[in-house]
Structure 1
Amino acid sequence: MAELRQVKTNFTAGELSPEMLGRADLRAYANGAKRLRNVFIQPTGGITRRPGLRHVATLPGPARLVAFEFNTEQAYLLVLLHQEFQVYLGDVMVAQGTGPWTGAMLPQLGFTQSADTLLVCHPDMPPQRVTRTSHTSWLVSGWEWVAIPGFRFAPPGITLAPSAVSGLVTLSASAPVFEAGHLGTTLRFRGQAGTVVAVPNPSQVTWNPAEALPDTNASADWEEAAFSPVRGWPVTCCFHQDRLVIGGSRDLPNRLWLSRSGQIFNFDRGGGLDDEGIEFGLVSDQVNAIRAVFSGRHLQVFTTGGEWMVTGDPLTPSSIQLNRQTRIGSSATRIIQPVDVDGSTIFAARSGRAIHEFAYTDVQQAYQANDLALVAAHLIQQPVAMAYDQAHRLLHVAMEDGSLATLTLFRAEQVTAWTRQETQGAFRAVAEVEGRVFCLVERDGTLRLERFDNALMLDAALEGVSNVPLTVWTGLGHLSGQVAGVLAEGAPREDALVSGGAVTINPGAASVQIGLRYAHEVEPLPPDLGNAIGAAIPLRLVGVGFRLLDTQSLQLDLGRGPKPVPFRRFDTPLLDAPPPRFTGDARIAALGWSRDALRPLWRITGDAPLAFTLLSVTTDMRTNA
């Protein structure tokens, strides 16, 4: 009979895919787990129960969450809704207004911010700017184009013939090329720009040039506005080297436009001088529809077919160079804004099953796109939104199925660890504002704005304080009809039914947290038994030791259901008193043999709204091998 002791000092590989169950030879296996639910991996390697979610507001419908950081003291959350928006500072709505976007447009909105202005794009909507004029006053207006870029959509042989050289000029086309949507757009003929003031028929427009024409000769030297109701509008945008960069439009999905330096709405290419506008297409073996442009070490372009690098220091019409780097691709059905993590750009793959790190390598002078979820691909199920919490080094990715995958990423310590967050509802969006992570959560057919709060251990939760103990607590309308968990003066109470926005507790308490319970779960991988792994040999768990930090509750399942573990032999908690926080080692003896090599030897689970942090695990076993 052989005795084995395995010590797991960290969980820096996070939850691993079922496909990894046979790879005990990998480092990730030694530092991973089979199942991690509602926990975060600390950058130092330990596991802690995730914070609860504070209820902020109930929203009228689907929304897009956008961070707006005016300065370090005034960081706002913009909630874009159907034809309206709301602005939150902390947990308080400070402004609201109307906008031209619809609920159906929300997944395809692209945006970027500069100072007090957020620019918003959608291929079927004229681009908008949301401007902060004061703390409580926000305005929405269209872009004020100084010079809109042009493009020749018509075949090269089609000419225009002017009826006069100045005034209101009728331009007659040699073939039908005009539509009613051309009204009010810019048209450039023989180098002169003018506005279309009427469209009498598909072969004629009435045009008002800014300057007189030299003659009335017909010419094929003409182009119309690249963006219009007829041709569609910009898809996405960003700022790079003091230029506004527009990536793609509805009818020109693979084209880039860069404004003049310091003039963000002036796209006049002029004579190709260094500070003038730049325009070019991404020409390759396939049409690469641009889904995002990102300002990093270089201008990065993310398309449905691959990732590109735009170089030039500085970018000028003569110095700019464009090179494709990788062939991963981004989603064509929604825009998921890439995020910066320590100088690398994290983006969601077109496949919907991977999250990639777009990082520049000095040795190769090129970008690589490493799959951060290679060993945890089962947790990535069609991402819909991402947000990075720099303070805790956590990347949150909301999935189409309503789950939230969380990645702890700390390269200095080789930590790349995924876990999965679940709640009584579904996560629909996520955003980070100055260390605060907000979530759009769907519960009982309604959408709620909530945020992670380290002071809470329940979801959709609110807390209350009173000078005297109360038995009835109100203000819980968002939980009406649901059974809520109660934490009274730091001690768990029996669950209570929320009726009419109120709950009754007995005895009363001067401070409470009331919200929805959620269960955390930690399940290890099968033990590495060397050559015996996978064989049907008897295996006995002799004992298991857990090193804990500031832990109030530990529920352990050794095969007969979860049971509470006393931290000390003579622990006798006082009734209705907060459980003490324990730091140290908890040792549990075990009995029984097992022939199932994939059955977990132990499992930690529990929905008590109490602190739990696991640092390491020591497992003692015996086998007949």
Structure 2
Amino acid sequence: MGVARAYIVGSPYNGSELVDVDFEQTADTMFLAHIDHPPQELLRAGHVDWLFKPIEFGPSLAAPAGVAAAATNPNVDADNDGAAYFPQTDSYVVTAVNDDTGQESRASAEDSALNDLGLKKNYNTVTWSAVAGATRYKVYKAHNSQFFGYIGTTEELTFRDDNIGPALDQAPPQGFDPFDGPGNYPSTVTLFEQRLLLARTKNAPNAVWGSRSGGSQFRNFDRSRPLLPDDSLSFSIVAGRVNSVEQLASTTSLLALTSDAIFNVDGDGNGGVLTATSQAPRRQIGRGSSRLPPLVVDNVVFYAPSVGRSIRTINFSFEIDGLKSDDVSIFCADFFPKDMTIVSWCYSQEPRSVIWAVRSDGKLLCFTWEQEQNVWGWTICETDGEVQSVCSITENGEDRVYLIVKRVIGGADRYFIERMASHDWTDLKECCFLDCAVTGVFEEARSTFSGLWHLDGRTDVAALVDGVPVTGLTVIDGTVTLPPDVPRGKHVTFGLPYEVHIETLPVRANVPGSGWNVARKQQAGEIALTLNRSSGVYAGSDVSDTVYVKQRLDETYGSPDNLMTGDYSINSGNVQQGKVCVHVRQAAPLPLTVLGVFVDPIINE
């Protein structure tokens, strides 16, 4: 057994800046934004081949070189001594186009020809050099001192102009980089409608910029004059006070989560496509957002507001025909104390719909969210160590949650990259309900195991040995030895233990023959639990009154208990109090799934 080492690649950010790095991913490319650094991209070429590099803004096609314009003028109105011959200057630029990617290069250097194209037989010939990756070329013309306008396209390296009038509403792209230096670096990034969107710089905190339209043009912010719909775009979010774009969220429309309010952004205010010539930001919700990146779950956006201590949602409401916001932390305000915030979170969709949120004190919050069943609730995970960050990655049909955790090992702070164990296990010995755990499978049963250097010096290590829980183990020099009364094992998991506590809300009931039980002396009486594949369960009316839910029947000596599935009942202790609750706990590294809790309260007259 052992702990895998992480692949490391240098980045432009230091540790204190990571919390403010925003990112968006497409395939093997991740775009990153930080207000003190030029926009970056993280490129993955292989499992051990990663690279951070500044984004090079502009088209991927080079502009054609060697553009030359030559006049051919056999008609100079010689019969009239040139009276009708009036030569004028026409200037030309050429762009390269790749029809597979939709890319168009910037304009070439211009060249001019002096000719009178109004006379028959006169023409200008424009030539240029080939561009790698180009499938055709566009030619633009400026007559005298006018703007350049489109006059034609060709797959060749030459073009004849015999007095073609330029379409001045179609101009060549011009280079544009709004993020060209300190103060202009964006801090927010997202992808929306095949555009890369960046926002919030020091010089323009309420501004949003979008790349040219098309999945291959995320790095291209060029624009034409006049603007074309698929050019890069820019707009500002205007509110009634100082306002900054804290985050952008991509849903059926673009949401701008600002420090003052939430804005819905589309092309025309009615769901139209966002273009360079049409943007319509509209204020929807009056509670602004913090810098914590929002989570998009189906059609619902979760965010932390800029003021207050809560977690809110953004979703469409048919009643108001617009967006509304709900507080989903209203029933557990104690999980969000005044001096603490959420610093990192992620969404794990399968096999359970769960949001994992890291609090600033290192505690891990778990939010169960089943929108279609209208089921939701918070849990706090207080375990050994402080969680620093979380993310969710889909692996083998389920979402695996990765965590960076700071733990005290051997008297020193150490940081671990850990992954939550798979929910997909078939046999009890395969499950893992321990922190900072490793699993080993051996051909021969043994009682001594090495390779546990990450737990060296800990005296509270627990294990699951062929499905049998063992606690109170000590790791010395990376090695642990099972107690003599524990059988040797082949399939073992070692880690740090934690306890599970579940407490129901007080029962409020009108008991036949006794009346309402509110604020009356009462006791829980009989408690029934509906369990699924569980073991090592205790239950009672209070944490100090829990008793073991007996399960062992005819298992052979030394073998693990059979898993409990079904309904199990116990009689609670004779404890009288002013409310009836059920407390379920478990301390062993064993599975626990509670599907239902039932209680028959006894009310004293």
Structure 1 length-normalised TM: 0.69
1:540 aligns with 2:523: yes
Matched, 1:108 2:20: yes
Residue 467 (structure 2) aligned to one of 464, 487, 490: 490
Q: Offset of 1:488 from its aligned partner?
A: 0.7
Q: Give the secondary structure class of the aligned counterpart of 2:332.
A: helix
Partner of 2:88: none
Taking a change above 3 Å as real, the CA distance of residues 605 and 544 of structure 1, as seen in their structure-2 partners, is same
In the superposition, relative to structure 1, how do residues 247 and 553 fare at CA in structure 2: closer, same or farther (>3 Å)?
Answer: same
Rate the CA distance shift 1:545–1:362 in 2: closer, same or farther, 3 A.
closer
Q: 2:414 aligns with which of 426, 438, 446?
A: 446
Uncovered stretches (5+) of structure 1, i.e. residues with no partner: 1-53, 59-92, 148-213, 215-223
Match in the other structure for 1:464: 440
- Residue 374 (str. 1) matches residue 330 (str. 2): yes
How far apart are residue 572 of structure 1 and its match? 5.9
Deviations 1:452-478 (A, max 9, x none): 113311111111111111121111111
How has the CA–CA distance of structure 1 residues 495 and 254 changed in structure 2, closer, same or farther, with 3 Å as cutoff? Answer: same
**Offset of residue 564 of structure 1:** 1.7
Equivalent residue number for residue 297 of structure 2: 341
Aligned to 2:306: 350
Structure 1: how far apart are the matches of 2:14 and 2:490? Answer: 45
The sequence identity of aligned pairs, in percent, is 28
Matching residue of 1:241: 193
Give the Cα separation in 2 of the matches to 1:56 and 1:511. Answer: 17
Q: For 1:325 and 1:443, locate their aligned partners in 2 and report how far apart those are by CA, in whole Å.
A: 43
Give the aligned residue type for 2:42.
V
Pair 1:591–1:463, CA change in 2 (3 A): closer
CA contact 2:582–2:599 (8 Å) conserved in 1: no
Q: Superposed, which structure 2 residues align to 1:302-341 within 5 Å?
A: 302-312=257-267, 313-331=272-290, 335-341=291-297
- 3-state SS, counterpart of residue 96 of structure 1: coil
1:267-282 pair list within 5 angstroms: 267-270=221-224, 271-282=226-237
Residues 411, 132 of structure 1: alpha-carbon distance in 2 compared, 3 angstrom cutoff: same
Aligned to 2:265, the other structure's residue is in SS state: strand
- The C-alpha deviation readout for 1:390-439, integer Å capped at 9, x for no partner, is 11111111111222221221122111122222211122211111111111
Q: Flag the 1:269–1:284 CA change in 2: closer, same or farther, 3 A.
A: farther
**Deviation string for 1:158-186 (max 9, x for gaps)?**
xxxxxxxxxxxxxxxxxxxxxxxxxxxxx
Q: What letter corresponds to residue 437 of structure 1 in structure 2?
A: V
**How far apart, CA to CA, are the structure 2 residues paired with 1:114 and 1:294?**
15
Structure showing greater Rg: 2
CA contact (8 A) 1:55 1:448 kept: no
The alignment status of 1:399 with 2:359, answered yes or no, reads yes
- The CA distance in 2 between the partners of 1:441 and 1:97, in whole Å, is 20
Please name the residue that 1:617 is paired with: 597
1:512–1:247 CA distance, 2 compared to 1 (3 A): same
Q: For 2:193 and 2:386, how far apart are their aligned partners in 1?
A: 39
Change (3 A) 1:235 1:448: same
Structure 1 stretch displaced more, 410-419 or 480-489: 410-419
2:567 alignment partner, one of 560, 566, 585? 585
1:438 corresponds to which letter in structure 2? Y
Matched, 1:564 2:548: yes
Q: Does structure 2 retain, via aligned residues, the 8 Å contact 1:55–1:451?
A: no
Letter in 1 for 2:236: G
In 2: Cα distance, 1:604 partner to 1:321 partner = 53
1:128 counterpart letter in structure 2: Q
Q: Secondary structure of 1:97's partner?
A: coil
- The match for 1:409 is 369
Q: Shift of residue 108 of structure 1?
A: 0.5
Spell out the pairing of 1:251-270 with structure 2 (5 A cutoff): 251-262=203-214, 263-270=217-224
2:455 is the counterpart of 1:479: yes
Cα distance change of structure 1 residues 624 and 362 upon mapping to structure 2, 3 Å threshold: closer
* Other structure's SS at 1:375 match: coil
In structure 2, the residue matched to 1:522 is: 502
Report the counterpart of residue 133 of structure 2 in structure 1: none
- Per-residue deviation at 1:558? 4.2
The amino acid that maps onto 2:367 is L
**CA shift at 1:576, angstroms?**
3.0
Residue 447 of structure 2 aligns with an amino acid whose one-letter code is T
- 1:3-28 Cα deviation digits (max 9, x unpaired): xxxxxxxxxxxxxxxxxxxxxxxxxx
Partner secondary structure for residue 556 of structure 1: strand
Amino acid across the alignment from 2:366:
T
Aligned residues: 455
- The 3 A distance-change label for structure 1 pair 362 and 500 is same
CA contact (8 A) 1:546 1:616 kept: yes
CA shift digits 1:48-103 (9 cap, x unpaired): xxxxxx99657xxxxxxxxxxxxxxxxxxxxxxxxxxxxxxxxxx4x432111111
Alpha-carbon distance in 2 for matches of 1:282, 1:353: 25
SS at match of 1:294: strand
How far apart are 1:269 and its partner, in Å? 3.8
Q: Contact between 2:249 and 2:296, CA under 8 Å: does it hold in 1?
A: no
Tell me which residue corresponds to 2:578.
597
Q: Which residue number corresponds to residue 39 of structure 2?
A: 127
Mapped contact 2:531–2:565 kept (Cα < 8 A): yes
Question: Quick one: which amino acid aligns to residue 205 of structure 2?
Answer: P
1:317 & 1:463 partners in 2: Cα distance?
Answer: 55
Q: How does 1:78-97 map to 2 (within 5 A)?
A: 93=6, 95-97=7-9
Report the residue type matching 2:380 in the other structure.
R
> Partner of 1:513 in structure 2?
493
Q: 1:516 to 1:363 in 2, by over 3 A?
A: same
Distance 1:540 1:141, change over 3 A: closer
What CA distance in whole angstroms lies between the structure 2 residues aligned with 1:109 and 1:370?
27
Rate the CA distance shift 1:614–1:114 in 2: closer, same or farther, 3 A.
Answer: closer
Residue among 248, 268, 276 paired with 1:293: 248
Q: Distance in 2 between matches of 1:551 and 1:133?
A: 44
Aligned mates of 1:132, 1:294 — CA distance in 2: 24
Give the distance between the partners of 1:463 and 1:311, measured in 2 at CA: 51
Aligned residue number for residue 553 of structure 1 = 536
Offset of residue 490 of structure 1? 0.6
What secondary structure does 1:412 align onto? helix
Q: Secondary structure at the match of 1:105?
A: helix
Structure 1 contact 492–576 (Cα < 8 Å) conserved: no
Q: Is the 8 A contact 2:508 2:518 kept in 1?
A: no
Aligned-partner Cα distance in 2 for 1:589–1:497: 37
RMSD between aligned alpha carbons?
2.5
Question: Using a 3 Å threshold, how does the CA distance of structure 1 residues 352 and 545 change in structure 2: closer, same or farther?
Answer: same
Residue aligned with 1:98, SS: coil
Q: 1:542 to 1:533 in 2, by over 3 A?
A: closer
Distance 1:314 1:403 in 2: 42
Offset of 1:356 from its aligned partner? 1.7
Which structure has the highest strand share of the two?
1
The alpha carbon displacement at 1:225 in A equals 6.7
| Matches of 1:379 and 1:55, distance apart in 2 | 36
SS state at 1:548 partner: strand
Instruction: Tell me by how many angstroms 1:255 deviates.
Output: 0.5
Contact map agreement 1:425 1:443 (CA 8 A) in 2 = yes
477 and 143 in structure 1: CA distance in 2 versus 1, 3 angstrom threshold: same
Gaps of 5+ in 2: 60-144, 146-175, 424-430
Q: Structure 1 stretch 300-309 or stretch 262-271: which is displaced more?
A: 262-271
Q: Label 1:542 to 1:261 Cα distance change in 2 as closer, same or farther (>3 A).
A: closer
Shift of 1:489: 0.7
Do the aligned partners of 1:546 and 1:618 also contact (CA within 8 Å) in 2? yes
Report the counterpart of residue 15 of structure 1 in structure 2.
none
